[in-house]
Amino acid sequence: MQTYQDTYKHKGLRNQLEALLRSKGIVDEGVLKAISTLPRHFFLPHDFESHAYEDKAFPIGEGQTISQPYTVAYQTQLLSLKPGDKVLEIGTGSGYQAAVLLACGANVYSIERHQNLSDTAARTLKTAIPHDWMSRLHLFVGDGTRGLIEHAPYHKIIVTAGAPSVPKTLLSQLQIGGILVIPVGKDEVQKMVRITKISDKDIHTEVFADFSFVPLVGENGWKV
Nearest-angstrom CA–CA distance, 182 and 171: 11
In the residue annotation, 67 being an active-site residue is answered as yes
DSSP 8-state code for residue 67: P
What distances in angstroms separate CA 182 from CA 22, 36, 117, 157, one per listed residue? Answer: 22, 24, 21, 8
Helix, coil or strand: residue 154: strand
| β-pair partners for 205 | 195
C-beta neighbour count of 152 within 10 angstroms: 17
d(CA 24, CA 7): 26
> In this structure, what is the dihedral angle of CA atoms 27, 20, 41, 50, given to the nearest 10 degrees?
180
**For residue 153, is the peptide bond before it cis, meaning its omega torsion is within 30 degrees of 0?**
yes
Active-site entry in 23, 36, 50, 67: 67
117: three-class secondary structure by DSSP: helix
Q: Are 195 and 205 in contact (CB under 8 A)?
A: yes
What is the chain's length?
Answer: 224
CA atoms lying within 13 Å on the CB side of residue 98: 31
- Give the residue numbers marked as catalytic: 67
